[in-house]
Amino acid sequence: MLTQRVARDGARHAAPVILGTVTGLYVHAALAAIGLSALVMRSSEVFAAVRLAGAAYLIGLGIVTWRTRPAATATGAPLPARRPAYLQALLGNVLNPKAAAIFLTLVPQFLDPDAALPPQILVLATAQAALITVWLLGWAVLISRARRSLRSPTAGTIVQRIAGAVLVALGIRAAVA
């Protein structure tokens, strides 16, 4: 989604996507801190429900993305995004059971069982948030620099279709995994 937003609207439109992604990360961290993530991961029915909800969201988002025509003004400048990027990024992260799995498989290796868990999880989540932010900002800069070549209506349509197809493919993969 970051690629699509930045290619269409410019680098400043990366911020809501990055904030939504990082907020989703902190949601997973909070759920892990209170033990809810472990419960979801241990219950195959609940995990399947979360996985299928995430898959349905990705497929729906992919279809909407595929069908949306890249909008432009009379001068050729892109119009602002109509869909809420922050909410899309947040839901994309929160509904991703693999993101929750990080806090159940990787994070415990770095926790001290004799110390309070929530502060430790917060520190690890903040480190991950910083890394994700740097990665996504770097990607946004790269896409922003390539934006000139993506401004034509044909290129915009191609980017939209590729983004839509990738989201649908990821949703299908999540549904059958």
pLDDT value of position 20: 95
Count: domains in the chain = 1
Q: Domain limits at 42? A: 2-176
pLDDT value of position 5: 82
- Whether the pLDDT of residue 41 is over 70: the answer is no
**Better-scored residue on pLDDT, 174 or 30:** 30
Three-state DSSP string of the chain = CHHHHHHHHCHHHHHHHHHHHHHHHHHHHHHHHCCHHHHHHHCHHHHHHHHHHHHHHHHHHHHHHHHCCCCECCCCCECCCCCCHHHHHHHHHHCCHHHHHHHHHCHHHHCCCCCCHHHHHHHHHHHHHHHHHHHHHHHHHHHHHHHHHHCCHHHHHHHHHHHHHHHHHHHHHHHHC
pLDDT value of position 73: 37
Q: Is the entire prediction scored with pTM above 0.75? A: no
pLDDT tens-digit series, residues 85-110: 899 899 888 888 778 778 777 777 78
Across all residues in the chain, what is the average pLDDT?
80
**Least reliable range by pLDDT among 39-48, 58-67, 137-146:** 39-48
